[in-house]
Every structure is written in C-alpha cells, then in structure tokens.
Amino acid sequence: MKARALKLTAWLAVGMMVVAHSVLVYKARERLLHGYSDFSSFYSAATIVRDGGGQHLYESEKQWAVQKKLFPYVPVRKGPLLFNHPPFEALIYLPLAYLPYPRAFLCWAAINILFLVGFSWVMLLYALAFADLKQQNNFRAGCWLALAMFKFQLVIPFLPVLFVIGRRKALVGFGVSSLGVFFASALVTGWTGLEQYIKFLWKFDQKLAPEIAAIYVANMPNLRGLLSATLADRMTHPAVILPILMFSGLLLYFAVRVWRGFQGGEQGFNIRFCIALMITILVSYHFYIHDLSILALPLVLVVNHLAKSKDRWSARRYGLLLITGFLSVSPMYVFLLGKSQLNVLAAGLLLFLPLLGAEIGYFRRNVLALGAEEPQRAAL
C-alpha cells in the first residue's frame, strides 16, 4: 500500500471523526452548558477549594451539596458526579471557578482545542514523555509522567518498563516531580484531607453504588473489564481477581521483554513504545470511555510506521491496519458503551500486541541479517 494513499486515508478518517464529534457536541450543547459533562465535577471541586473547603473536598455530601446548587437543571443525576482525582488537579481548574459555569466550560473547551488535546491531557503528557525518551532526555520525560498522576492508574503500570530497561534518570525525574505533586495536594486539602482521599478511593471502588461511583467494571475497555464480563457467570467477583493479576503480570512481562536486545532503530523504538502504552491501558485498574483518547498516540505511531515502510506488505501489516481502523472509529465507542460492551475494545488491543511483537521480530531478522543497523543499547 502506498504511503500517500495511507496518509490520505488517515486524514480522511480524522476529518470524519472531527465532523461526527462536532455534530454530537452541537446536539448536546444545552446540556453541556447546564452541567451534564464531566467538567462539572472538576468545576465543583475547584469551587469547594475556592471557598476554603479543601479539607472537605472528598466528602461526598459536600460535593453533592455544591453540585445541586451549581447545576439545578440536571434532574437525571441522583447523586454527585464525584471528583475522585488527586487534590492537586483542583488547582488547575481553580481560575475557572471564578467564572460562571457556562463561561468556564467554554473557556476550558477553547483551551483544549487550542492545544489540540481534545479531552486528554494524559495523551499530551505521554506524547511529551515519548519525545523526550526518544531523545534521551530521561529526567524531563519522568517529570511529564509525574504530571499525569491525576490519572495515576494510567501511569504506574508504565514505570516497571522504565526500571527494567535502565531509564533510571526518568524514574528520578518522576520521583522528584511526584514530590512536588504530593506537596501541592497537601496544600489543597491539608494532611488530614490526604488521608481522607485514600479512604475516599477505597469507598469509591468498594462501597458506593455503581450509579453513584459510575464504576461498571464489566464495561471497562481493559483487561479487568474483559475478564470480569467473560468470567462473570463462572466465577465470583473476588475469584476473578486472580486471573486478572496473572494475565496482567504476563502482559507486563511481555512489555519488558520486547525492550531486551535488538531495538530496531527509530521505528523499533516507536513500536516498543506502542506496546508499552497499550499494555498500560490493558492492565490499568480503572478505565473510562474518555480515557480512550490516549489511544490516539499509539495509533498515530502505527499508521506512521506503516506509511514509512518500504517493504512488501504482508498479512501481518494488513492486520495492523485493520485493527488500527477498528480502534480509530470513536463513535463506535459510544455505541459499545450503550450496549455495555465496551470491554470488546480490550480484545482489539490484545489482538494488536502479537502483531506488533511480530513486527519487532521482523526487524530483528531482516535488519540484522542485512547488517544495516547495529543493535542499540536502548531504549524506551
């Protein structure tokens, strides 16, 4: 397949996705401005901090009282849309809390569009980390990952890869920046509030009703969701944890294993990064539909890799293109969410991994055989 045709197809797909999402946003504009979006939970958290109530930030009753006052036109909500992110994230939204909600929402939407990050700052931070890791700016790469700790479940699984492949400076940068994040959080809630946050997370995951916590495990597009849905009729909920842990361990081992030995140059680095990030998604404990925007980074890297390839296309590469196309149709996510089948996307990611692994194997066999490139020490 010619690179020009592939790139044109990719841009057409992006254009179609932008149009589709624009239509959805336009149709939902009134609801969005009344507080139906997830931004309402961030705005209400910032409002609590603005009013000096940071120490009560993780009291469900407090969040519910503030949201009922701010968003009286959201009758479908029977409880608070809980703010369950680390305290330091509330500081990001604090300036917006001084604006009326409709203006704050429009400002936040404009900021997202301006920086071309859509709904995912995690994706932006991972992209920055990717660029710095590629250039051996390891300390700064670790700092970017620490700033993404407001979604810590999407960062922590990535760290073992950095450790095993010897990117110690990245881990140091992560540790230093994490300390800054920790003290910023303490500034928001106080030490008592940090302890309350830990208890809140446990309650959020284990005790709150799904309609309040918005946690539907079997509908998560990760390994936990896929196995929970598949084994629900065969095993009790606690028993499912064991296969989840076993498969997560195997996937993390695979993520580490592909970084050993021959690296395959720039394209080899890109593929390995894709594998590490996709496995991070799969083994994450919590994963919501809006977190899927992080997939844009590995999907773009795969398309770029296929477009640059001058070798004859094989069934493996057509398979990569087919799965990339499947995972790129974001309106399908909404459809699967409505059918409570979002976990199907985890199966797509699992199919991706052996194909990417085979691509690494191709580089190892062919590039070394031709003597075109020496093994690089490496890499993430």
pLDDT in tens, the chain (380 residues): 555 666 666 566 666 656 655 665 666 666 666 677 788 889 999 999 999 988 999 988 899 899 888 888 777 677 788 888 899 999 999 999 999 988 998 888 888 776 654 457 888 899 999 999 999 999 999 999 999 998 898 999 999 888 888 889 999 999 999 999 999 999 999 888 888 888 888 777 665 555 555 567 778 889 988 988 888 767 666 778 888 899 999 998 888 888 876 556 777 888 999 999 999 999 998 888 778 888 889 988 988 888 877 777 788 888 888 888 888 877 788 788 778 888 888 998 999 999 998 888 877 776 655 554 444 444 44
Residue ranges per structural domain of the chain: 216-380
Tell me which DSSP letter residue 285 carries: S
Whether the predicted model's global pTM rises above the 0.85 cut: no
d(CA 3, CA 313): 11
Tell me which DSSP letter residue 292 carries: G
What are the φ and ψ backbone dihedral angles of 28, each rounded to 5 degrees? -100, 15
Judge contact between 304 and 340, C-beta under 8 A.
no
Tell me which DSSP letter residue 115 carries: T
3-state SS of 138-183 is HHHHHHHHHHHHHHHHHCHHHHHHHHHCCCHHHHHHHHHHHHHHHH
CB half-sphere exposure, 343, CA atoms < 13 A: 18
